């Protein structure tokens, strides 16, 4: 009896021990799986960007040319080999700075234009190399895409802009005088201008001789008026000059004066007695008038460069337009800046024909040691025949944080992992929104994601983000990161090369550096604990059977 109770008690104790061991094994496995799941799927406060145009209703506000919306994207229409999609005209409500344009799709090229009129009739579409740094200003904006293959798709578009506080640019256009006038009096001068605090003047020159008929004359209130040309018949050119608080502009117009012929009425001579004929004298030979060579006008006009803001350590591309407003072609025109070492200039020179406009690109390079504040920079364009100069305002903004990408790795066929660090420099806690985008060789976004991050004052933290990508995405690409806080923004471009993901054990293949070691140690420890517990259970069973 005693032996039976002892054996029963031992077996009961073993059953309780086995149940406890099973619970322990289950708990250990649950913890290991939870750790692996959190790390593997990178669970955290991330979210996908919301695009301004990602539905048919939004895209239908634009114009389809040999293209259609197929339910998820804009594509070529059936049996078409090329096409285009033109967006609606975006209205910022007032003068704005158009910052960047991001898109989701495949193999799409973009052209853009920024406008000052509601129908964008004042500007043509132009190609842009960097959609993440448009640097265009105007109240209105429009883009156009081109499709050359059935594989081209446009799924969504996001357009970022900020309201500009700068004064509107100065411009002028003339509608009268034109063509031929039958009188030199009361010739109408009709024109339109844009800009603030404007002063207007006009002059009239004889097109054949180049001599001034009316020299610089002030137009009161920049209002339409009329003028007289006392010299009579001939061809003339008129120029209106406009200057304002944000720059200068001029426009020219040609017209001619052709007075109606005046036939004198013949007077009736009364019949009188015959008068003997009088021999008329031979008129003297008049000298041939001297040939007058028209005067040459050598003149170039520069567009006003808007005031620019730039962060310490950044580089910004600027374009200057120069128009030949004279009567002589200009050659070997070279752009130059002041000696502040802020300009990075292109080395080539350009020729500008009469009436033509040429663009000169240069960069503003501000070092991280530059003192924050406002600067007034001078620039000039020097041609062999003439030159022109101007100034523009530059505001250097203090850098508030450093952003560094130190690792980009494709961890799965449909995911790219990005490791980066943030360093707070302003001495204040920061809440940041970071938008990541992968772009192909033509600058079109093919994948993107956004994150919200917080960083303490004067602190440095490392972070990670996983960007969902198409499994077929490979090759040389560009990774863009745009970082925004309440009063500060910056961006980083990083060239990357994507290949196939790392092979082997899928979970551990997605873990790198310190994380890989931590996960490997956790898995080994979990397996070791399970092995020891199972071994102990087997030994306990053997001991129990022996005693029995």
Q: What is the pLDDT of residues 468-493, one digit of tens each?
A: 999 999 989 999 999 988 777 788 88
Average predicted confidence (pLDDT) for the chain: 81
Question: Could you tell me if 140 and 209 lie in one domain?
Answer: no
Question: Could you tell me if 147 and 62 lie in one domain?
Answer: yes
Token reading at 191: 């024109």
Q: How far apart are CA 170 and CA 193, in angstroms?
A: 7
Question: Could you tell me if 244 and 343 lie in one domain?
Answer: no
Question: Could you tell me if 333 and 360 lie in one domain?
Answer: yes
Let me know if residue 102 belongs to a domain. yes
Let me know if residue 128 belongs to a domain. yes
Let me know if residue 181 belongs to a domain. yes
Counted domains in the chain: 5
CATH number at residue 220: 2.60.40.1220
pLDDT tens for each residue of 242-255: 988 677 888 999 99
pLDDT tens for each residue of 423-446: 998 898 989 899 899 999 888 889
Question: Could you tell me if 27 and 88 lie in one domain?
Answer: no
Q: Is residue 331 within 8 Å of 351, Cβ to Cβ? A: yes
Within 8 A by CB and 6+ apart from 509, the residues are 411, 501, 502, 503
Question: Could you tell me if 468 and 524 lie in one domain?
Answer: no
Question: Could you tell me if 524 and 442 lie in one domain?
Answer: no
The residue with greater pLDDT, 339 or 119, is 119
Confidence (pLDDT) at 547: 59
Question: Could you tell me if 416 and 488 lie in one domain?
Answer: yes
Let me know if residue 278 belongs to a domain. no
Largest CA distance in the chain: 186
Q: Which residue has the tokens 């695009």?
A: 51
* Nearest CA among 480, 535, 460, 409 for reference residue 42: 409
Evaluate if pTM is beyond 0.85: no
Q: Is residue 364 within 8 Å of 315, Cβ to Cβ? A: yes
Please report the sign of the dihedral spanned by the C-alpha atoms of residue 68, residue 69, residue 75, residue 77: negative
pLDDT band at 7 (very low <50, low <70, confident <90, very high): very low
Q: Is residue 154 within 8 Å of 136, Cβ to Cβ? A: no
Within 8 A by CB and 6+ apart from 477, the residues are 438, 439, 440, 441, 446, 495, 496, 497, 498
Question: Could you tell me if 19 and 69 lie in one domain?
Answer: no
Q: How far apart are CA 217 and CA 173, in angstroms?
A: 17
How many CA atoms within 13 Å lie on the side-chain side of 75? 13
Q: Considering 132, 163, 194, which residue would you say is the last residue of a domain?
A: 163
Question: Could you tell me if 100 and 138 lie in one domain?
Answer: yes
Q: Considering 353, 370, 397, which residue would you say is the last residue of a domain?
A: 397
Let me know if residue 289 belongs to a domain. no
SS3 536: helix
**Domain range enclosing 77:** 56-163
Let me know if residue 109 belongs to a domain. yes
Question: Could you tell me if 388 and 412 lie in one domain?
Answer: no
CATH number at residue 429: 2.60.40.10
Q: How far apart are CA 403 and CA 167, in angstroms?
A: 33
pLDDT band at 344 (very low <50, low <70, confident <90, very high): low
Let me know if residue 270 belongs to a domain. no
pLDDT at 542 over 70: no
pLDDT at 261 over 80: no
Question: Could you tell me if 24 and 102 lie in one domain?
Answer: no
Let me know if residue 505 belongs to a domain. no
Q: Considering 163, 195, 211, which residue would you say is the last residue of a domain?
A: 163
| Range list of β-strands (E), 209-280 | 212-219, 225-227, 234-244, 247-257
CATH number at residue 92: 2.60.120
């Amino acid at each position: 009896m005693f032996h039976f109770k002892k054996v029963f008690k031992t077996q009961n104790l073993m059953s309780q021990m086995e149940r406890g061991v099973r619970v322990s094994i289950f708990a250990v496995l649950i913890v290991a799986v939870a750790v692996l799941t959190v790390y593997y799927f990178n669970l955290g406060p991330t979210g996908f960007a919301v695009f301004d145009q990602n539905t048919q209703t939004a895209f239908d506000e634009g114009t389809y040319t040999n293209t259609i919306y197929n339910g998820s994207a804009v594509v070529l229409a059936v049996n078409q080999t090329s096409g285009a999609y033109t967006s609606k005209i975006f209205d910022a409500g007032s003068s704005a700075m158009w910052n960047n344009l991001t898109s989701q799709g495949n193999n799409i090229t973009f052209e853009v234009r920024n406008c000052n009129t509601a129908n964008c009739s004042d500007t043509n579409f132009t190609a842009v190399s960097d959609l993440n740094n448009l640097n265009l200003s105007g109240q209105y904006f429009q883009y156009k895409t081109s499709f050359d293959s059935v594989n081209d798709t446009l799924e969504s578009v996001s357009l970022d802009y900020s309201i500009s506080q700068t004064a509107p640019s100065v411009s002028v256009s003339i509608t009268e005088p034109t063509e031929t006038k039958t009188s030199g009096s009361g010739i109408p001068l009709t024109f339109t201008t844009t800009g603030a605090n404007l002063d207007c003047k006009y002059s009239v020159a004889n097109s054949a001789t180049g001599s001034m008929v009316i020299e610089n004359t002030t137009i009161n209130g920049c209002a339409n008026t009329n003028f007289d040309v006392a010299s009579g018949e001939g061809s003339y050119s008129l120029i209106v000059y406009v200057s304002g608080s944000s720059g200068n502009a001029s426009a020219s117009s040609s017209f001619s004066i052709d007075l109606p012929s005046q036939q004198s009425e013949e007077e009736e001579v009364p019949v009188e007695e015959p008068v003997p004929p009088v021999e008329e004298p031979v008129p003297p030979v008049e000298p041939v008038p001297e040939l007058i060579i028209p005067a040459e006008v050598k003149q170039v006009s520069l567009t006003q460069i808007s005031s620019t803001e730039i962060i310490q350590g950044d580089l910004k591309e600027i374009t200057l337009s120069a128009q030949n407003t004279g009567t002589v072609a200009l050659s070997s025109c070279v752009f130059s800046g002041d000696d502040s070492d802020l300009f990075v200039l292109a080395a080539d020179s350009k020729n500008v024909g009469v009436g033509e406009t040429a663009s000169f690109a240069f960069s503003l390079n501000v070092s991280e040691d530059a003192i924050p504040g406002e600067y007034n920079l001078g620039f000039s364009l020097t041609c062999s025949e003439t030159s022109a100069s101007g100034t523009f305002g530059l505001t250097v903004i203090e850098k508030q944080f450093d952003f560094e990408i130190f690792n980009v790795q494709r961890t799965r066929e449909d995911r790219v992992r990005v490791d980066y660090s943030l360093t707070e420099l302003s001495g204040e806690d920061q809440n940041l929104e970071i938008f990541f985008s992968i772009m192909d060789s033509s600058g079109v976004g093919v994948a993107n994601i956004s994150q919200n991050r917080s960083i303490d004052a004067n602190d440095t933290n490392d972070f990670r983000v996983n960007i969902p990508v198409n499994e077929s995405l490979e090759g040389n690409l560009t990774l863009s990161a745009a970082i925004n806080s309440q009063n500060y923004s910056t961006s980083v471009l990083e060239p990357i090369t994507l290949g196939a993901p790392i092979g082997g054990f899928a979970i551990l293949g997605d873990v790198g550096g310190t994380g890989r070691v931590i996960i490997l140690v956790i898995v080994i420890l979990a397996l070791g604990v399970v092995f020891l517990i199972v071994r102990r259970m087997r030994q306990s069973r053997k001991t129990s059977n022996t005693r029995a």
